[in-house]
Structure 1
Amino acid sequence: MRADVDVLVIGAGQAGLAVSHELDRAAVEHVVLERDRVGATWADRWDSFRLVTPNHTIRLPGGEYSGTEPDGYLGRDEIGDHLRAYADSFTAPVEEGTAVESLRRDADSADSPGSAGSDGSGERDGSDVFIAETSTGRLRARRVVVCTGAYQREHRPAVIDEIAREVPVIGATEYRSPAATPDGTVLIVGGGQSGCQIASELVHAGREVVVAASRAPAMPRRVDGRDIADWLIDLGFFDQTLADMPSPAVRFASNPLATGAGGGHDLNLRTLAADGVRLIGHVTGVDGTRVVAADDLAESVAVGDGAFGEICSAIGRLCAARGLPVPGLPELPATELTAADPPGLADLGLVVNACGFRPAYDWIAIPGIVDDMGFPVQENGASASVPGLFFAGVPWMRTRKSPLLLGVGEDAEIVVRQLAAR
């Protein structure tokens, strides 16, 4: 079976576009299939969404931020505009509105001369033709790079379904604005980055908000007038690998709490409480009339406080090691936060499920490509079991920054280097 294209790239977000840019530079024939439009995933964020890292950390190859606000935080629509301009800058071969519904390989195809598994002399190169069934028809590719985003499926604990029988529930990607939110108290289940940002926006709009906290690390927005992201870059935080972490489960852990709203400011459980958000422990169920929450708010606050302190201490050590003056380091108050009473179901107008996301590669009909947590088994983006299959934009693929605008370009370069060498 002869391939229709040398390399198929699936997804036209930052990962897919970075891969396409590098393939273009290496003169490797390819096509990018995108189920919606370029950068569409960012449109799933709420109306006022902004990056949580400064604009200058947009470091896509050939698509770095070059605007007038390097220390600002692009808004949702601006991020999409940036990605579309990036695609246009090198005429990325993107076919929008083309969803890849399944991907499989045809092992027999590698036996025919001139096919995807042959170098034209009848010698096998170890790979098979991949067959992608798409919304516009079948496509055959010699190699495939899967760039479908950091996480693809909303994590919906069983307790959310229990609550949904009594109160309207939406996912964090369905939330748009306070004006579009039904009357009544809003319960946000999950105190990670998205949940806390949504809670902050709602409470500042005058809404009654309850957050069922989770154990998310906190950090200051700025230290000594410098953005925390710049400090973290200097500390090597974004270059940490999965091997540096105590457990692979870190891939499901919350990112440090941050916001780019209002020019960027501190955001954590303590700032939410000071703004009037009611905090409770994690939700365990409903008892018929009320939400039931665990008595573990103090543990969640302690995790956030501890991370805040550790980051500040690390900045102090870094400055001392470099012979620089140690700046004044912020401290969180030591006061205990008291858990509120869980809300009554009759008082709730809406529940926002902000429990994070999980990987979803079940549409790839090739056994053994993911581990027991659902993440691709790979090395430098190359599948450990399937020659010719690659990934980019995967959390912790190489480092902590692998899926980020800051680091996905580095991974794309490494993936394409392998593709160009074959």
Structure 2
Amino acid sequence: MLADTDVLVVGAGQAGLAVSHELMRAGVDHVVVDRERAGAAWYVRWNSFCLVTPNHTIRLPGGEYDGDDPGGYLPREQIIVHLRRWAASFGAPIREHAGVDLLRVTDDGFLAQTEAGPVRARRVVACTGAYQRERRPEVIDELAGHVPVVGATSYRSPDSLPDGRILVMGGGQTAGQIAEELLAAGREVVISPGRAPSMPRQVAGRDTVDWLMEAGFFEHTAADLPSPAARLGPNPVVTGRGGGHDLNLRTLAAAGAQLTGRVLGLDGDRLVVADDLGVSVAAGDEGWQAVCTLVVETAERMGLLTPELPELPRASIPVAPAPRLADLAGVVVACGFRPDYRWIDIPGVVDEYGLPLQRDGMSTVVPGLSFVGVPWLRTRKSPLLMGVGEDATLVAERIAA
């Protein structure tokens, strides 16, 4: 058995480490457990992955970015190094390879069944991340019977895929970056996108993320969204690769990608696709324009000159015919992620979308259970390196009190 503890923190990513840092500062006994190791969520990203937000937005408590490239975008390996160095700096009590398989309520708190044995705790903070389970449309199982299918967390590099034409399913940040990498490697790529907004990398020589921070974009709450389901919507598509640049369906088409509609199923040896590519392209364009409008409003509010706005490529995008199975060497599925709290054996702890029922991180169903690192826990930035520390501090303070 692992030692009994006052607080069990589940997950040693940025959320769990931020909670640990604040509990250490408050003198609260705790242990952090992770199924793999500290920063494990970043290990499953592809080899060339890098941040899409500038380095200076790494604002973890005691673990702020301290390098010499605040406007750059850390690659995967350096993100992991940063997190592990930060954890070592305050002696985070991490127990690796001790993932929680089941969490139950007991008379005096909680009992967690972990890979390293049971743990009793008076309180639990679930910090298992914003991207827990890959979303796989039903058609994927049908496709997998005919061609190799790789999920976004299993993809590593173009060389890891079979030679030949690759279908990328998805239109968000992950799908866009993987498709761009495949194109740069000389691969033939067909994209079946969803409806994700896009945004310019820079406006008037300044990173658009900085403009959005000034605009209060990342302070939006779930109440600002059109519906509860929108909490699971995609983030604006952009990339930090190669110093950062625009990335959207239009730039991908200009780079040689073939675009088609959403894959619905199979008809013999040919994929059946929806007649909705125009809708997907329009969704990206509308996001771009909305961000540009917000930047202009922000500049006016700050008393700045109206910035010159970047323009999207306006060439029409032809709809590629539905591919034949025989023409595909493989499929990369990057259709987003969904929360997964099935390890919490407590009825009613999440809502119909799989997100915790909580207020400011504290469960409204189970006393003593808290969450950090959840999309829209408090604001848009809650799961991000720029905002998870604020939520962790609030939750830790309430636990300490």
TM-score, normalised to structure 2, is: 0.98
1:368 is displaced (CA, Å) by 1.1
SS in 2 for 1:69: coil
Identity, % of aligned pairs?
A: 61
CA drift of 1:333 comes to: 3.6
Residue of structure 1 equivalent to 2:165:
185
**Structure 2 matches for 1:261-272, cutoff 5 A?**
261-272=241-252
Shift of 1:151: 2.5
Moved more, 95-104 or 3-12: 3-12
Tell whether 2:45 aligns with 1:65. no
Q: Which of 1 and 2 has greater Rg?
A: 1
8 Å CA contact retained: 1:309, 1:331 = no
Aligned partners of 1:338 and 1:218: how far apart in 2? Answer: 19
Show the counterpart of 2:74.
74
Matching residue's letter, 1:218: S
* Counterpart selection for 1:309 from 270, 276, 289: 289
CA distance in 2, matches of 1:317, 1:390: 37
- The 5-angstrom pairing of residues 28-67 of structure 1 reads 28-67=28-67
In the alignment of these two chains, the number of paired residues is 399
Alignment of 1:100-139 (within 5 A): 100-106=100-106, 109=107, 128-139=108-119
- C-alpha distance in 2 between matches for 1:273 and 1:334: 11
CA RMSD of aligned residues (A): 1.0
Per-residue CA deviation, residues 70-103 of structure 1 (Å, 9 max, x unaligned), is 0111111111110000100100000111111100
Contact 1:151–1:358, Cα closer than 8 Å, also in 2: yes
Q: What letter matches 1:82 in structure 2?
A: H
What is the TM-score normalised by the length of structure 1? 0.93
Other structure's SS at 1:313 match: helix
Answering whether residue 280 of structure 2 is matched by residue 337 of structure 1, we say no
Preserved CA contact (<8 Å) 1:33 1:99: yes
Distance 1:411 1:66 in 2: 21
Give 2:354's aligned residue. Answer: 374
Letter in 2 for 1:269: L
Distance in 1, Cα, partners of 2:225 & 2:399: 29
Q: Counterparts of 2:307 and 2:354 in 1: how far apart (Å)?
A: 42
| Amino acid aligned to 1:70 | P
Distance, in Å, in 2 between the alignment partners of 1:249 and 1:329 is: 31
Corresponding residue number in structure 2 for 1:88: 88
Equivalence for 2:192 = 212
Structure 1's consecutive aligned runs of 4 or more residues displaced over 4 angstroms after TM superposition are none
**Distance in 1 between residues matched to 2:115 and 2:314, nearest whole Å:** 56
Partners of 1:150 and 1:416 lie apart in 2 by 19
Local SS of the residue matching 1:200 = helix
Secondary structure, in 3 states, of the residue corresponding to 1:174? coil
Cα distance in 1 between the residues matched to 2:154 and 2:325: 21
Alpha-carbon distance in structure 2 between the residues aligned to 1:247 and 1:93: 39
Shift of 1:335: 3.6
Q: Are 1:321 and 2:305 counterparts?
A: no
Which ranges in structure 1 are unaligned for 5 or more consecutive residues?
110-127
Provide the residue aligned with 1:14 in structure 2: 14
Matched letter for residue 38 of structure 2? V
Distance (whole Å) between structure 2 residues aligned to residue 69 and residue 321 of structure 1: 28
CA distance in 1 between partners of 2:302 and 2:60 (Å): 29
**CA–CA distance in structure 2, aligned partners of residues 334 and 270 of structure 1:** 8
Identify the match of residue 388 of structure 2 among 388, 395, 408: 408
1:340 Cα shift?
0.7
Greater Cα offset, 322-331 or 63-72 = 322-331
- 1:347-379 deviations in whole A, cap 9, x for unaligned? 111101111111111111111110011110000
Give the counterpart letter for 2:87 in structure 1.
Answer: A
- CA offsets per residue over residues 323-360 of structure 1, 9 Å max, x none? 21111111224443221112111111110111111111
Quote the Cα distance in structure 1 between the aligned partners of 2:273 and 2:232. Answer: 22
Distance 1:75 1:210 in 2: 26
2:329 is paired with a residue whose SS is strand
Cα offsets for 1:98-134 (capped at 9, x unmatched): 111100011xx3xxxxxxxxxxxxxxxxxx4100011
Q: Match for residue 113 of structure 1?
A: none
Do structure 1's residue 276 and structure 2's residue 265 form an aligned pair? no
Contact 2:42 2:79 in 1 (8 A): yes
CA contact (8 A) 2:165 2:188 kept: yes
Partner residue of 1:287?
267
How do 1:164-175 and structure 2 match up within 5 A? 164-175=144-155
Classify the secondary structure of the residue corresponding to 1:188.
Answer: strand
* Counterpart-to-counterpart distance in 2, 1:255 and 1:335: 24
Q: Does the CA contact (< 8 Å) of 2:376 and 2:383 recur in 1?
A: yes
The residue that corresponds to 1:122 in the other structure is none
Q: Contact 1:239 / 1:399 at 8 angstroms: preserved in 2?
A: yes
Structure-to-structure mapping, 1:224-303, within 5 angstroms: 224-303=204-283
Cα distance in 2 for residues equivalent to 1:311 and 1:152: 28
**Which whole-Å CA distance do the structure 1 matches of 2:275 and 2:316 have between them?**
14
* Distance apart, 1:322 and its partner CA: 2.2
Match of 1:142 among 111, 115, 122: 122
Please say if residues 147 and 393 of structure 1, whose CA atoms lie closer than 8 Å, have aligned partners that are also in contact: yes
Q: CA–CA distance in 1 between the matches of 2:201 and 2:400?
A: 41
